Structure 1
Amino acid sequence: MVSVCTTCKGLQKHLRSLDGAFAQEPEPDSLQWLTTTLPSLRRSTNGGCRACAVLLQGILLHHDRFAAVKEEDIRVRAESLNAPAAAAQDHVSVEVRWKGLGDCCDGDEPAHEEGYPDLKLEFYTDKDGQSPFSAIGRGRRISENPLQDGGLGTARALVKECLSRHSKCRHAQPTSLPKRVLDVLSDDGSNGIRLHESAWDADEQRFEFGEYLTLSHCWGSGRSILKTTTKTLESHKKSIPWLDLPKTFQDAIQLTRALGFRWLWIDSMCISQDDNVEKLEASMHLDKIFSNSFLTIAATSAWDSNDGLFQPKPQPFKIQATDSKGSLYKIYVREQPSHYSFKAPFDEGAHMNDWELPFNSSAEANAQTPLLKRAWAYAERLLSPRVLHFTKSEMILECREAYQCECGRIDDSTFDSRTTDSVKQEFARVVAENEGHRETLNGNGNNSRIDSVAYQLAATSINDAAKTITRKREEAIQLWSYIVTEYTSRDLTYDADRLIAIAGVAQALSESLKSGYIAGQWTFSTLGLLWHPNDGGRCRRPKAQANNIPSWSWASIEGSPIFFDNSIAMDLACTASFPLERGRSQAWSPISGDTLELTAAMATEVTLRVDAANEYSLVKNDVSVEFRPDVSPLRGEDSVAPGESLICVLVSMTFRSSIIGLVLKRLESTSQVCRRVGRFECYECQRDGSDDEPDDAETLFGHWFPEVEDMTELDNGPRQTFIVI
């Protein structure tokens, strides 16, 4: 009788019945072959198991990933999938872990391991699927170049799948070209291109119809990137020599041609870069440029325009294996694409409210997908109906309803339980709910006016319409807060672009929010003012702002992701109004702002105390509350001396049983004109000099506002008004 390897069962599917526990299939969608340590796998290999030898060899071919780790600390798990989702591929997946394993059990069996493995490999055969081990079958091919060896067919298949299955990704009407596009099918016999100026239809108030692609890319230093300027505009309309184009542009043009399109929009080429008025106008129409694009080509792994669109991909290793008769077979092993920034470090099923934001800011993700770290590219990604990402591992199609990739695993929990970033899909859902309604109200859908709530109510019952608008607003403002957090975690080259780059996203959400919008703030939401930087120690106020960004706007802070508080358990009778909206008109001022008037029932003067380096408290009546300013240490226009008075305005209580408010600094000692210096959240308050346990947050009302006897009567009590600039 032939002995069977107790470690891996010889990777033979028919032998799993020899192990009763193995036959029970501890996981319904997979077959586990081994869970062991690297030294144990070596011992089994030395004992003559050919299957363990193949696994060991494949792991050691990636030894550079764990060269500094002791072998006894490395644990290995191998499985193959036994679910319908795995029908197109039949590889063996091997997980290798060495970080954060925690306490382990005796022997070779590890304790429960959570999170994505440190290294995940796949062992597979080529097309014929022949292997001496029945567990190792065919794999899924990843193209080396989308313009070669079937890669173009894969790209087309990804797009076709999106168009055939996703209604939100299709354009309901013919799309207009942007003001300028590149004509990549020039008929002058050269390989060059030319800049095309679209014909304007004055009656329809649009440019000529046409389908086009867009390019999203990192400029890099910007010094060598080819640009259109007022001086080169006329010559670019005649011809742009091929050799003048950076590699990323050349690759994008070749792909556009190969996919059968004539028009391509590239920002540096289609916008006159020394015309500030034109640049601002184009930025304000970013939502139309990218949302009307058929496909956005994303140079996701390129650091600048000279890197090229198609990054070299690591090739799989080949291992020779023999069967019991000595026949040779080829087994391939490669690192499974990790999908970098598209996957979170937590499992699928976590609600968006429970996400760790920013979504995935790991060093590996940033290094492998530098485009996703750029703020402009984030806005372009949200607005596009579909984005074809070119990464160092594979092509990934991200659209308004799903993800697809060459390896077939990115959006399938069978292969990867981690959740996929779904903010784009949520954004598309919220926007899509209002598109048909907007076209009905505005006729041609091109009116930029934000329709009044009263106009909506005319078509239906007041109660039903009010509930619908409230629900949509709540969903949209929550989504907006996530988007701003993600957006502010990304990099901008110029401070002046802070509000410009996100204006198109705000325009797309304006129908859902039915609100004025000033300098990043939706005017209906006082809670939107309760933003706070994740780390004030990394923050600064821009020294010279090209636009007027007031201190109350989140865009006035640079250097840290911005977070929001959008839900409250109790309103403390604080309201915000904007002079721009007097007369009941809804303001649309996306890149600048002025004053706001903050009217509050609970506002008081407190004293700033410095407890230690960059540690502050607010004190009144010998009761102190921790305070984290927007910029730490307090400096510049935020400078406050120890012992100086500040104004603390209470806004709400939260479901966390905390009190939240704004902290303002008077410009003059008797003036009601103030600047914001921070937000505070009180979980507990402490009487100075007392050794007693701190009191709960709500006791702050009695300590700081002893004159307020009935909290339920705040709306009927006296108010104070502050002008915040």
Structure 2
Amino acid sequence: MLSNKRYFPPPRTNAACQHCQDLNLSLPTIDGILGIPLGLLQTSAASGCPYCALLIKALELPGLEPPNNEDLFGVTLFSGVDSTNAEPFPLIVRLQTEYRNFAEIELYVDADSSYRLPAIGRARNIEANGLSDQCVALMNSWMKECLSQHKMCHQPQSSMILPDRVLDVRPGKNPRLILNQSAETGDYAALSHSWGGQVALQLRQKNLEDLRRGISLQGFPMTFRHAIEVCRALAIPFLWIDSLCIIQDSATDWAVQGSKMDAVYSNCQVVIAADGAHNSEKGFLEDPWRQIPVLKLVCPRPASDGGTPKANKDEPQSKFVDVYARKKGTGNMDVFMHHSRASNYRSNLSSRGWILQESVLASRILHFTAEEITWECRSVSRCECQVNPHIFTHEMPMKYNLTRELDHKEHWAKLVQEFTCRDLTYPSDRLPAMAGIASHMHSRNPSIEFHAGLWSDSFASSLLWFCLDRGMNLHGGKRKSRRVQPESAPTWSWASVTGRIMFSPSQSTLGALKNLHVNCSPAGPNMYGRVSSATLMATVDTFRGIIIAHKDHRDAFQLQLISDDGIHRSNLIPDGEIFPDILGDSTEMCVGDEVILMDPVGHDDKYLILKPSSHGPSTYRRLGLYMTFPLRGIWPARHETITLI
């Protein structure tokens, strides 16, 4: 083990080299992790240990210079075995200075090699083109495995109804738009892509007939062209692309087709996710990042008696095995982040709000990242560079949960929290961009009702959302919350603001909203989309207060309780925290505002902060959430009927 400049050697074993343990990291005394100082590694390599020599040669991989002129102190080796079989993963070599870990190397043998080295598993070299023969064979093998073996990913053939419009991309003719007016079935893919500004080719009312007649492959933007080529390579006859299958200059068509997103992504055979393309023109099959530096090394084969070989360069080449070294990727840090060497953040595509429902609803996704192809379905996650599948257990696969009989309330809250971290070009799309997921969940729970982003069976506790503007967005930047304009959701809905949303856990699920009446009028045909008007009427306990300046923080507020007779009680300022819905230069919450606190759950310590509205008596707008100790029994409550808009 290495810790700063301290070295703790492992207990002695029968290994020929006591420093690298002949790369036998499965010994109980090592347990898959072994640290070696650079000096000992160099001495052992010079003395003839082929494995130490291999590690020294691997350090010649370009781009591994220590930061800040620090010196390399040593390496730590990591090995592991997939729980589903005994094949080792590639050996991970972590480089360390006295102060930090600064890089990781991946050592592997070729995926087609029948030979194994201790602790060095198989992996694949990444092809320069994502449609090479090797890549096409790999994608087809993933697809075949999923379709034939994964019960969780199975789709009834009766559900494979083509969308209302779809591109016919079969080879031998120009791609053309077809209208599905008789509920025809068939295999189709759906493209998930970043618009990245204006898309050169869009379906509009004036060019619908032109697209139905067909256009040449060269007439499509590069990202669309690549998606068509992928479909043809996988023998998928049809392709759905939002910008070419929804009439872009028709709000009515957008609303109608938006309400069918659940079916579009749930029924497609596979989603082609263009993670590596920042816009429709870039394409995703030949990104320069695919050509990562790989160092080819050789290592003597172990002696037939199991002993450690000597690194004799005069031996015939047949007695050596090829070993490859490359920089290790970041791996799957969460279900929406894929193997990457370029960035610690997600792709631009997976940071977009609209993309969440595409990735959650689809049974299968082929991700074309900047660096490689990755696969995910409801059963397994794979990538082009690795032979072993990735393990799902340490992730939170939200799409997997859609197929399980789990608590949909908790699942919806997690989805909203993930969604509101993402970017939307138009903030008023908060509800439309989640409509497909809402429709899918509603079909599995038809007895409940959907109210502007909240479900009826958890309505009271779901009102206890708050904005976490101190958090970072998916690109590592700060974000502020604003009220969505024009208003497309009531103030009591998380969809009424632009901030990152968190839901506060509540001990009660029954709620304290008596005589509850919720009325939501959708703004169009999509019942899960924008809302034209909404009211919440209930009889509930309330407490009166006034907003005051925080004594310690200039940009924060405190709340002072007021008695029923209107006399200010300055000595009763509860120890609590206000989470405004709007922060920054907004005047929505101001010092001196008289407000009421509404307790939607009962016997809890979280209250909605409400401000009188000009729409009528006892009518209020939400300003934020107040977290404090339970006020019931400490301060008199008023039992009243209010309307929240």
Q: Secondary structure at the match of 1:552?
A: coil
Q: Secondary structure at the match of 2:403?
A: helix
Q: 1:423-462, aligned counterparts within 5 Å?
A: 423-430=398-405
Which residue is 1:517 aligned to? Answer: 450
TM-score (norm 2): 0.82
TM-score (norm 1): 0.73
After TM superposition, give the deviation of residue 484 of structure 1 in Å: 0.5
Please, which runs of 5 or more residues in structure 1 have no aligned partner? Answer: 17-21, 102-112, 202-206, 345-358, 431-471, 683-696, 708-717
1:185 corresponds to which of 163, 166, 170: 170
The structure-2 alpha-carbon separation of the partners of 1:257 and 1:538, relative to structure 1 and needing over 3 Å to count, comes to closer
The structure-2 alpha-carbon separation of the partners of 1:301 and 1:86, relative to structure 1 and needing over 3 Å to count, comes to farther
Q: Name the count of aligned residue pairs.
A: 588
Maintained 8 Å contact 2:482/2:581: no
How far apart in 1 are the matches of 2:282 and 2:136? 20
What is the one-letter code of the residue matched to 1:9? Answer: Q
Which residue is 1:420 aligned to? Answer: 395
1:324 corresponds to which of 312, 322, 331: 312
What is the one-letter code of the residue matched to 1:392? Answer: A
The structure-2 alpha-carbon separation of the partners of 1:7 and 1:159, relative to structure 1 and needing over 3 Å to count, comes to same
Which is further off, 39-48 or 561-570? Answer: 39-48
1:648 matched to 2:597: yes
| Seq. identity, % | 27
Q: 1:443-592, aligned counterparts within 5 Å?
A: 475-513=407-445, 514-524=447-457, 525-535=459-469, 538-542=479-483, 544-545=485-486, 548-558=488-498, 560-569=499-508, 573-575=512-514, 577-580=516-519, 588=527, 590-592=529-531
Maintained 8 Å contact 2:451/2:520: no
* More helix by percentage: 1
Which residue is 1:301 aligned to? Answer: 276
What is the one-letter code of the residue matched to 2:621? Answer: R
After TM superposition, give the deviation of residue 478 of structure 1 in Å: 0.8
After TM superposition, give the deviation of residue 518 of structure 1 in Å: 2.4
The structure-2 alpha-carbon separation of the partners of 1:266 and 1:39, relative to structure 1 and needing over 3 Å to count, comes to farther
What is the one-letter code of the residue matched to 1:333? Answer: A
How far apart in 2 are the matches of 1:100 and 1:664? 51
How far apart in 1 are the matches of 2:269 and 2:554? 53
Maintained 8 Å contact 1:93/1:121: yes
Q: 1:42-61, aligned counterparts within 5 Å?
A: 42-45=42-45, 49-61=49-61
After TM superposition, give the deviation of residue 281 of structure 1 in Å: 1.2
After TM superposition, give the deviation of residue 5 of structure 1 in Å: 3.2
The structure-2 alpha-carbon separation of the partners of 1:502 and 1:617, relative to structure 1 and needing over 3 Å to count, comes to same
What is the one-letter code of the residue matched to 2:169? Answer: V
Which residue is 1:242 aligned to? Answer: 217
Which residue is 2:306 aligned to? Answer: none
Which residue is 1:195 aligned to? Answer: 177
After TM superposition, give the deviation of residue 266 of structure 1 in Å: 0.8
What is the one-letter code of the residue matched to 1:618? Answer: L
After TM superposition, give the deviation of residue 65 of structure 1 in Å: 6.6
Maintained 8 Å contact 2:90/2:121: yes
**Which is bigger in relative contact order (C-alpha 8 A, separation at least 6)?**
2
Which is further off, 514-523 or 37-46? Answer: 37-46
Which residue is 2:196 aligned to? Answer: 220
What is the one-letter code of the residue matched to 1:639? Answer: M
After TM superposition, give the deviation of residue 249 of structure 1 in Å: 1.1
Q: Secondary structure at the match of 1:704?
A: coil
Q: CA deviation digits over 1:143-180, x for unaligned, max 9? A: 44342232111111111211222223222233211111
After TM superposition, give the deviation of residue 662 of structure 1 in Å: 0.4
The structure-2 alpha-carbon separation of the partners of 1:142 and 1:238, relative to structure 1 and needing over 3 Å to count, comes to same
2:580 corresponds to which of 611, 624, 629: 629
1:5 matched to 2:4: no
The structure-2 alpha-carbon separation of the partners of 1:631 and 1:47, relative to structure 1 and needing over 3 Å to count, comes to farther
Maintained 8 Å contact 1:368/1:392: no
What is the one-letter code of the residue matched to 1:298? Answer: A
The structure-2 alpha-carbon separation of the partners of 1:137 and 1:371, relative to structure 1 and needing over 3 Å to count, comes to closer
Which is further off, 52-61 or 66-75? Answer: 66-75
How far apart in 2 are the matches of 1:631 and 1:408? 48
What is the one-letter code of the residue matched to 1:231? Answer: K
After TM superposition, give the deviation of residue 667 of structure 1 in Å: 2.2
Q: Secondary structure at the match of 1:250?
A: helix
After TM superposition, give the deviation of residue 540 of structure 1 in Å: 3.2
Please report the RMSD computed on the Cα atoms of aligned residues, expressed in angstroms: 3.5
How far apart in 1 are the matches of 2:299 and 2:342? 33
Q: Secondary structure at the match of 2:358?
A: helix
Q: 1:35-184, aligned counterparts within 5 Å?
A: 35-38=35-38, 40-45=40-45, 49-64=49-64, 66-68=66-68, 70-71=70-71, 75-79=75-79, 81=81, 85-87=85-87, 91-96=90-95, 119-125=104-110, 127-128=112-113, 135-136=119-120, 138-174=122-158, 175-184=160-169
Please, which runs of 5 or more residues in structure 2 have no aligned partner? Answer: 1-13, 301-310, 471-477, 562-568
